[in-house]
Structure 1
Amino acid sequence: MKKIFLILPLSMLLFAVGCNRSMEHSEEALVSEVSTSKQADYAEAPEVAAADVAAGAAVDAAANPVNPVNQQLKIIRRGDLSIESKDIQASKKNLDVLLKKMGGYYEQESSTSNRDELTTYNLVIRVPSKQLDAFMGNLENGKDKITSKSMTSEDVSILYYDVESRLKSKRAYLARYQGMVASAKSVKDLLEIQEQIRLLQEEIDSSEGLLRNLGGQVDYSSININLFEYNANLPMGSNSFWSRLKDSFVFGWNLIETLALGIVGLWPVLIVVGLAVALIKKFRKNRKNKFLNKE
């Protein structure tokens, strides 16, 4: 009887331990199954990887903020000039020589002449930013008169280095996506990875174009020049008696030309009026002759 009482508790203890181990094995199997399911879902959805890549890019950008303080400033300088010249052809040649000496070039060049044979040049020139001050000094100390001048400076350092930083991140993630091509498990995955590569490449091309544009404007300053002559033989910008006398002669001559051309332009009317006057005179003469013959 005592043996039965001893065996019964021992059996119950062994049964409890066995149940506990069975439950632990069941939980481990369930966890393994869920983990396998998640990995399969992740492999079938590369867009999740894309989101992770984009999130990683955002984290990298936040961890490496743009700080142009310790970098070279990116300044865009522009100018507008109006220059009055006594001898505009000589002034244009001098400007050509000076521009070549400074390493600049014409971005745009046009000229116009009015009926008084006064020439005006409208020029857009690009000068290396390092030579801009020397270029302006040569113009200001030259023989020609600068009638107006406007210079501006724009700091684009933050924009430039921000685009540059983002471009580096995009190139890094483009390399990651290109590495994922070989590990694609299905055609769907491959197409989605290639689409992400295409979008990244377009963004990289756009950023590279923006950097080139900004770099060109920073390295070469742009100046709009209006080079004109008021009157080659008179003091610059003068309104003297001789200038007004010449203008009066020109006005009188133009008036004579206008009247002469107007009269010539009315030749049909003059012919009709002449014929009408001749007919009237003939009619009166015939009438007078008839009256004399009756007497």
Structure 2
Amino acid sequence: MNTKFQKLVFATFILAGLFSCQKSESVDSQYESAVATADSTTIQKDEVSYAASQQILDKKFVKTAEVSMEVKDVYEATVHIENALKNLGGFVTKSELQSQVIEEETYNTSDQNAVLLRKFNSYNKMQVRVPSEKLGAFLTSVNDRKFFLNTRIISAEDVTNNAKIAELELKKINKTGEVISQMKNNEKKANLTEENEEKNNTQQIENLNLADNIKYSTVDIYIKEPKVRIAEIAITNTQFYDNKYQVNFFYEAKSSLLNGFYFVQKFFVFLLNFWPLFVGILIVIYFVKYNLTTIIFSKKISKSENVEK
């Protein structure tokens, strides 16, 4: 009897333990699922900044953003950003994609062929305009191509009062125009009318710029590649052709002879410019020689006369 009771108690404890383990596992599983769901929700919320997507009733914001990040391929990321803008109704105002050459060297692979090995970094400075209500979606799309995010700055300037002031200023200008129109036609009225029209035009332009800045957000984007990339460019082995045509004995010997002949010709042509000098020298030599001959001849005659005496 005692043995059966002991076995019954032991079996009861075993079943209770198994049930408690299963319940604990079920609770842990539910907890892990809840944590995973919460983390997923947090990640999704973090992808779109509130500053970029905020919309408050009766409030107007001029939104701007600056993004600096590293990407795997600058060109591919640029194309992705441009396509995202196109889909969201935005546009590009500036795109400066450049490659900075760090080092390059040429390797000859055969007599005619060579390879130019170039190490470089690519980067792009972009400025884009995107509809303000879609700024958050655009920044999320840009974030998809990041390799490493350096900085992301989002500004939302409250211009509600500025818009109201601009509206009141425009009404004031219109009322002033009505008052001026009731004045007598004279020079003062013409001057006041012209000044009021200039103020009206200036205010209209400011209102248009403000409305455009509210409607479209400006985003400055700087993307670069984190590592040096290598480009292999097939080129011609110029050293082979330089050596091939560096010396041509017969051609250069012929050219040297002709150059010498031309030099002699030019030298004689140069001397011909001094023919008056040469003629003068010849005349001087002739007279000197003639005088010397006369003197010598006179001396001989005088000597012969003296001998005869």
- Please, what TM-score do these two structures have when normalized by structure 2? 0.48
Flag the structure with higher strand content. 2
Flag the structure with higher helix content. 1
- Please, what TM-score do these two structures have when normalized by structure 1? 0.50
Which structure has the larger Rg over C-alpha atoms? 2
